[in-house]
């Protein structure tokens, strides 16, 4: 997997509340950027970052971000793509985001760093 091209995660890790935990050999970081006078125009409210230990950089990010109109959406970013997964009428709580982001990370990450997600048994069953 490729590292994220968007480097805003560096600043967010330094300036935000962070929860860390392992998942399938990846180092996960749940970042919460609360709205304050200094962060009122922040694009991301919450982020779940998956770090590949061999790279020391995130290879996947599931984000609650605001678009140009100020609406919130759940998005997924990898080194190769950025896609919107869902849109919200109102801001979800951190716990709601965490549950959705973890489910998406489970679906998107390989079984271990350096692994090919398309070769996992779960993916093969879903395709059949």
DSSP secondary structure, 15-67, as one string: HSEEEEEEETTEEEEEEE----GGGTT-SEEEEEEEEETTTTEEEEEEEEEE-
Task: Note whether residue 68 is domain-resident.
Answer: yes
How do residues 31-71 score in pLDDT, each as one tens digit? 998 766 655 567 889 999 999 999 999 999 999 998 778 78
Is residue 123 predicted with pLDDT exceeding 70?
no
Task: Note whether residue 3 is domain-resident.
Answer: no
CB 44 within 8 A of CB 8: yes
Q: Which domain holds residue 114?
A: 8-127
Domain count, the chain: 1
pLDDT of residue 37: 62
How do residues 65-121 score in pLDDT, each as one tens digit? 987 787 899 999 999 899 999 999 888 999 999 999 999 999 999 988 976 554 333
Task: Note whether residue 2 is domain-resident.
Answer: no
Task: Note whether residue 1 is domain-resident.
Answer: no
């Amino acid at each position: 997997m490729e590292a994220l091209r968007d480097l805003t995660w560096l600043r967010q890790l330094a300036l935000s509340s962070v929860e860390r935990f392992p998942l399938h050999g990846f180092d996960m970081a749940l970042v919460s950027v609360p709205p304050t006078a200094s962060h009122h125009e922040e694009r991301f409210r919450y982020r779940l970052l998956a770090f590949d230990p061999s790279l020391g950089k995130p290879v996947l990010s599931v984000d609650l971000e605001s678009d140009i109109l100020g609406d919130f959406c759940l998005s997924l970013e990898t080194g190769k793509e950025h896609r919107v997964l869902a849109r919200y009428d109102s801001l979800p709580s951190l716990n709601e985001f965490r549950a959705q982001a973890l489910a998406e990370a489970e679906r998107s990450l390989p079984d271990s760093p350096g692994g090919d997600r398309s070769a996992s048994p779960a993916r093969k069953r879903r395709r059949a």
